[in-house]
Chains A and B, each alone.
Chain A
Amino acid sequence: MGAGQGSKQQPFRFRGLKLLGFVVLLYGAAYLWDTSRTIKSLEGFVHVLGTLIPILIVVTVLTALINLFIDPKSLAKHLGGESGVKGWVIALSAGVVSHGPMYAWYPMIQGLREKGARDGLLIAFFYARAVKVALLPMMVAYFGLTFTVVLTVLTLLAAWGQGVVMDRMSASV
């Protein structure tokens, strides 16, 4: 996954078949226990999948573009050990603007990691996703302006702090 251009290709295999089988069994058991709630669950499943598919397409295109245009050397410059403040700004901004559930981004992020992006920046990216620019007005409506501003600033600081801690832990291993 996400290996750089010219790297050895791994054989194709589905990941998570056992987990999927387990979830299918769960649905079977749930259906026997409460049919109407299970049907509601299936409707929820279809709805979530419908909203997820466009995001997965965007992530796939982004992954292809990264594989095509970003070589490990230039990626290391922007997101590697020597990326400095620029690396933090890229990681935090990317986290804030990224949409959809976290797991939709796993393949792309692992691709970046395999190309040399350091773990601290990836952890900062994941935590910065808690800031949702499009939803800020809604957050203000529910919790007030003060809470929204304080939470947003502290979340970004915490994302950066986690990244720093992770980098130190990685360096000490």
Chain B
Amino acid sequence: MQSFLNAFKKATKNMLSMAPMILAIVGLVGLFQGFVTRQMLASLFGGNPVADTLVGTFAGMIAVGQAMISYILGGELLDQGVSLYAVAAFVLAWVTLGIVQLPMEIEVFGGRFVLYRNLLAFVSTILVATAAAGVTLWLA
């Protein structure tokens, strides 16, 4: 029991040392929610599936919040005529990529790991979104 308490104290200390970083990220999430509207996001898409897939990836990288919200926004974007390719990229990038958390990620893991992780995730997101939307539309 004593050794668990020691391990817990150490883990709590580690988590507390990250508190300013976590508060900053949550603060940025709050600002995003307050200032970026759904209409603003929808206005980014121009109708070209290739360009919109890239736009969807970048919009997903910038956007923050629970994954559930990305599904709701993605559904609205589909209703507004945005392609499934772009929406798939948006939904996937929302969870796997994040500009807002980059400073914390670099601070914790170091620049090299973060660069490789984000590059791989970026390329994968475009490939997976394109393939998933393509297969879905082909089977429909």
Interface residues of A (CB under 8 A from B): 1-2, 5, 9, 12-17, 19-20, 22-24, 26-27, 30, 34, 37-46, 48-49, 51-52, 56, 59-61, 63-65, 67-68, 101-104, 106-107, 109-111, 113, 119, 123, 126-127, 129-130, 132, 135, 138-139, 142-144, 146-147, 150-151, 154-155, 158-159, 161-162, 165-166, 169
Give every chain A residue within 8 A of B18 (Cβ-Cβ). Answer: 15-16, 106-107
B positions within 8 Å CB-CB of A: 3-4, 7-8, 10-31, 33-35, 65-68, 71-72, 74-75, 78, 84, 87-88, 92, 95-96, 98, 101, 103-105, 107-109, 113, 116-117, 120-121, 124, 127-129, 131-133, 135-136, 139-140
Which among A26, A64, A107, A142 is the interface contact of B108 at CB below 8 angstroms? A107
Contact B109 A64 (CB under 8 A): no
Q: Pick the contact of A151 from B20, B27, B104, B132 — CB < 8 Å?
A: B132
Given the contacts A37-B35, A127-B96, A161 and B136 also touching, CB distance less than 8 Å: no
Q: A1-B14, A123-B117, A142-B71 are in contact. Are A151 and B34 (CB under 8 A)?
A: no
On chain B, the residues within 8 Å of A139 by CB distance are 71
Contact B108 A123 (CB under 8 A): no
- A23-B28 contact, Cβ under 8 Å, with A1-B14, A16-B104: yes
In whole angstroms, how far apart are the Cα atoms of A104 and B18 in the complex? 10
Q: Does B11 contact A63, Cβ atoms closer than 8 Å?
A: yes
- B contact residues around A158 at 8 Å (CB): 124, 127-128
CB-based nearest A residue for B72: A142
